[in-house]
Chain A
Amino acid sequence: MPSQDALIAMLPEHFLLVGIIALILLEVLGLGTRAALWVAVVTVSAAAGAALFLAQLGFAPPAPFPGLFSVTPAVFMAKGALLALAVPVLLMSRSEFADGEFSILLLSSLYGLCLLPSSESFLVMFVGLELLSVPVYALVLLAFRKPQSAEASFKYLVLSGAASATFLMGVSLLYGASGSMSVETFARALSSGDAMSRAATVLIMVALFLKAAIVPFHAWAPDAYEGASVPVAAYMATLIKAAVLLAAVRVFGVVNASGPVADLLLVLPLLSIVWGNLAAIRQNSFRRMIAYSSIAHAGYLFYAFLGDGASRQSAVVFYVVAYSVVNLLAFALLPENAQDDARDNLQNLKGLYRRDPLAAGLIGISMLSLAGLPPFPGFVAKFLVFRNVVAAGHTTYAVLGLIGSYIGIYFYLRVLLLMFMSPDNAVPSERRASGMARMAGALCLVATVLLTIVPGWVIARF
């Protein structure tokens, strides 16, 4: 029965919607804010569980919403994994946000995230992208601790808005050329040679590059991350990036990129890798460093779009999951400080091993994994991407990209140097990460271990 299919196909989204409504009601009725967090956690877990369960069942109705929204087990799997990653974000928000707004905004953003990998039409995708970003403008501002937050929020708003405008322009050109709003028109436009199609594909790609912070469209990211509070920065660095990449996977479909567009996919990601890793060396703020690191990682991720289209989805999903898990692990274990600037200062991590060995060890694992060193999941993810690049015949770019990733090793090691090899630098107002944040860290650790031991099993599922 089609209506029943339609109901089940959007089950994760329905859970989120119910959660959002419940949270708004809680807020309106002025009921305890403690409950809000748990309602949000349960909602997101339920949505993630539903998605994973449907993926396991292999639920794939032919067309629940023809031409607008589609699902496959792989898409459910991706949604489930990303929604599950939102749970640690929620847990670590407890120490920063006393109110329920955080949960409402985050869940709304997650709703947008869920629409992206399923969108069949550019309209749905646009709604998804906006729904993903708009709550985040507010989230960045919500931690109004310092003037920079307003600046960061505004910067993000303007540049994200510019990205949306570019996206719409590209979509309208595509519509003009093909008379259809279907995402498949992009794949067709890629291979066609006329100027209008080419302009449309370039505009849409630029919009995605802007959202994912690829050089030269990256300058907003460090400021935005620095101005945001820790959980929001964590959310932006991981899930938002993941969602944009899933949208890109949806847009590119399974075509093999070739011609001038492929050159864009080679050169700009390479620049991102090199520049992101170089610029990160100079940072003294943890969030700015992660921002530059995320610029470099966006570069690796777009490398995955070269070559074989069929394995693209699994490569991208595995990469974003491996990358997000370890990133969240580091954010969760970051020592707390009433002063946001002090919490952010890398120098304050000095001698962390003496004060909190567990946190230092786990942040260390996270950094090594981000650097792509074995045996951590970041390595398998990097391997997956570069294998695609080599298989596509771009060996030179693979080597250059790997050398770019080598540059990055230094600044990740620097964090280890500070934590393990520097004299203890006790910061007066510092506290250990809260119990909730540690719980978030524990969840990420379990995922990290799983990704380390059975990467093959995980990749087969994406």
Chain B
Amino acid sequence: MDEALVLNLILWLPIIGVVLLLAARRNDQLARSLTVGVLTLQFVLASWLYTRFDAGAAGLQFASNVPWIPQWGVSYLIGMDGFNILLVMLTAFLGPLVVLGAYRSIDRDVPLFHAMVLLLQFAMMGAFLAQDLFLFYLFWEAMLIPMFLIIGIWGGTRRIYATVKFFLYTAFGSILMLAALIYLVQALALTSSVTSFAFADLYRARLPLSVQTVLLGAFALSFAIKVPMVPLHTWLPDAHVEAPTAGSVILAGVLLKMGTYGFMKLGFPLFPDAARAFTPALMTLAVISIVYGACLALVQTDIKKIIAYSSISHLGYVMLGLLSLELVGIQGAIMQMVSHGLVAAGLFLLVGMIYERCHTRELSDYGGLARLMPVFSVFFMIFTLASVGLPTTSGFTGEFLALLGAFSAAWPLHVAGQSYPLILASVAVLGVILGALYMLRFALTFLFGATTAPHQPLSDLSPRERGILGALVISIFALGLFPDSVMHKSELAAREYQSLVKTSRLPVPVP
């Protein structure tokens, strides 16, 4: 089979699914099964491509390139590379689990819901696969609309407020990114007379530091809102709390990675000199996100908010790893993205399952679930430990490598007399301890102590729920125990990122 064709199929399958859903719009059960089927097929195809992916070859694989708006140099250019392969796999893996997880909880407007999930899946896949800035922006923005509807229609009591806040926050970043990308392409056309939106061409743009700084600022604002980095994070807790479980899972599992992926693929490599100049500032923000997110998670009484703030903290490590520009750190960052996607998805699914049974998100309403729901509690403990970063789980691999990268970058600087990065890295370690603190506080109150929970007796997890969580647990351990084969797939990309950001691209002085 032609791999490029399969990659296109992976991208467009959800759209085919939406068309099929139109036919199944009167039958809720059919709509559910259809969506699961389509997304499972997508995952199977993605897995097949994953095995065909040649980790030893640099650059794009399975690429398609069709001119789309030739006047502006825009093309439909998609392909797989070390940057996106793991995130594509993550997206494809979570897709069917999300829909299965929402099998019972979504009972209104079922076909519309599934159409939105499919459209979201399409847009996320597209944003990862796109290798053309215009196309990327299209998918990037297109993600907003289905998410807006998912939170706004199936969300909690303050859903309208939360969804409008989500939309307006993220759209503001995108507007400035649009201005910046127009400017970037114009500048490229002027300096090298190449009119193109392809990433590969944009990586050759040479811009003065001042211009790079402004453009990086615009891109970074958009990505930092998505990550989210403190102080641009305030939309996230609202969105997470009000979103239905499926929405939270997609948001935490994939959408947040869009921000860090953006930094890795676009923000830093496009404007390397500005990125290096602002590394201390960005690193400070990353560390603040780690510690501040953890502190906030420590005092939350709403169980969804604990996980929401923990996401802010965990994604701070990704930023830290990316900014270290050390190979271990970058690989750790990539690993942490995937790991957080799996762990946060699992935790949100668990919280959703208990919410379906008890209809409250107040932590103080719960206690002693270990006795009431033993299977649930085992799963909960596994995900808690993975979130804390216990060795043998994926959380450990990612966080450890990211921190290692930060330290190994900071040490030579410290020896040279610059101790600030080292202090930052040390503070980041504090986040690990805080992480253990808030997750264990959560688990302790939740699972142990006096036995209280509304709406008793509680039924333990159904086979469907066990299956979903089981799949996630297997992947978490697989990544924790055997990370090297996975990391090998993205190693060349990490090297490419490193060399792109480390090489100066200021304009060559005219002799």
Contact = CB atoms under 8 A, between A and B. Distances in A.
Given A379-B138, A456-B68, A413 B182 contact: no
B28 to A, nearest CB: 15
Interface stretch (B152-160, B413-421, B483-491): B152-160
A402 B175 contact: yes
Contacts of B138: 374-375, 379
B142 A375 contact: yes
Interface in B136-183: 137-139, 141-142, 144-145, 148-149, 152-153, 159-160, 163-164, 167-168, 171-172, 175-176, 178-179, 182-183
B171 A409 contact: yes
Interface stretch (A328-336, A383-391, A429-437): A383-391
B74 interface: yes
Given A402-B178, A455-B69, A456-B68, A390 B152 contact: no
B141 A398 contact: no
B176 A402 contact: yes
B243 to A, nearest CB: 13
A380 B178 CA distance: 12
A456 B182 contact: no
Nearest to B69: A456
A391 B190 CA distance: 10
Contacts of A420: 149, 152-153
Interface string B348-391: 00000000000000000000000000000000000000000000
B56 interface: no
Given A395-B183, A406-B171, A459 B69 contact: yes
A409 B152 contact: no
Given A373-B141, A374-B138, A417 B160 contact: yes
A416 B116 CA distance: 14
Given A420-B149, A421-B152, A390 B171 contact: no
B141 A413 contact: no
Contacts of B74: 456
A399 interface: yes
Interface in A390-425: 390-391, 395, 398-399, 402-403, 405-406, 409-410, 413, 416-417, 420-421
A368 interface: yes
A357 B25 CA distance: 11
Contacts of B172: 406
Contacts of A460: 70-71
Contact of B167 (A383, A386, A403, A413): A413
B467 interface: no
Main SS at interface, chain B: helix
Contacts of B145: 368, 373
Contacts of B141: 373-375, 379
B482 interface: no
Interface in A81-116: none
Contacts of A402: 175-176, 178-179
B153 A421 contact: yes
B29 interface: no
A365 to B, nearest CB: 10
A110 B238 CA distance: 51
Interface string B262-289: 0000000000000000000000000000
A399 B179 contact: yes
Interface residues on A, range: 20 to 34
Interface string A352-372: 010001000000000010000
B179 A386 contact: yes
Given A413-B164, A456-B67, A373 B144 contact: yes
A296 B160 CA distance: 26
A456 B70 contact: yes
Contacts of A357: 112
Contact of A390 (B144, B153, B160, B186): B186
Nearest to A393: B186
B48 interface: no
Contact of A386 (B139, B176, B178): B178
Contacts of B182: 383, 386-387, 390, 398
Nearest to B182: A390
Contacts of A459: 69, 71
Contacts of A390: 179, 182-183, 186
A242 B137 CA distance: 28
Given A374-B142, A386-B179, A410-B168, A421 B72 contact: no
Contacts of B159: 421
Given A387-B182, A420-B149, A420-B153, A406 B175 contact: yes
A108 B266 CA distance: 53
A454 to B, nearest CB: 8
Contacts of B109: 353
Given A456-B67, A456-B74, A374 B183 contact: no
Contacts of B183: 390, 395
Interface in B200-215: none
Nearest to A417: B160
A375 B153 CA distance: 22
Nearest to B70: A456
Contacts of B134: 383
A360 to B, nearest CB: 10
A420 B144 CA distance: 16
Contacts of B164: 410, 413, 417
Nearest to A389: B182
A413 B160 CA distance: 11
Nearest to A456: B69
A383 B138 CA distance: 11
Contacts of A417: 152, 160, 164
Given A390-B183, A421-B159, A456-B74, A399 B148 contact: no
Contact of A398 (B148, B168, B171, B179): B179
Contacts of B148: 413, 416
A420 B159 CA distance: 12
A406 B67 CA distance: 29
A410 B165 CA distance: 10
A390 B211 CA distance: 14
Contacts of B167: 409, 413
Contacts of B171: 373, 406, 409
Interface string A335-362: 0000000000000000001000100000
A403 B178 contact: no
A403 B171 CA distance: 10
B71 A456 contact: yes
A386 B134 CA distance: 14
A336 to B, nearest CB: 24
Contacts of B144: 373
A386 to B, nearest CB: 6
A405 B70 contact: no
A374 B70 CA distance: 18
Contacts of A395: 179, 183
Pick from A387, A455, A456 the residue with the most CB of B within 10 Å.
A456
A9 to B, nearest CB: 28
Contacts of A410: 164, 168
A383 B330 CA distance: 34
A39 to B, nearest CB: 36
26 contacts: A353-B112, A373-B142, A374-B141, A374-B142, A379-B141, A386-B182, A387-B72, A390-B179, A402-B175, A402-B179, A403-B175, A406-B171, A409-B171, A410-B164, A410-B168, A413-B148, A413-B167, A420-B149, A420-B152, A421-B153, A455-B69, A456-B69, A456-B70, A456-B71, A459-B69, A460-B70
Q: Which 9 A-B pairs have the closest CB atoms?
A: A456-B69, A374-B138, A374-B141, A421-B152, A406-B175, A399-B179, A390-B182, A402-B175, A375-B138
Given A373-B141, A383-B182, A399-B176, 16 more contacts: A373-B144, A374-B137, A374-B138, A374-B139, A374-B141, A375-B141, A387-B186, A390-B179, A390-B183, A402-B178, A409-B171, A410-B168, A416-B149, A421-B152, A456-B67, A460-B70
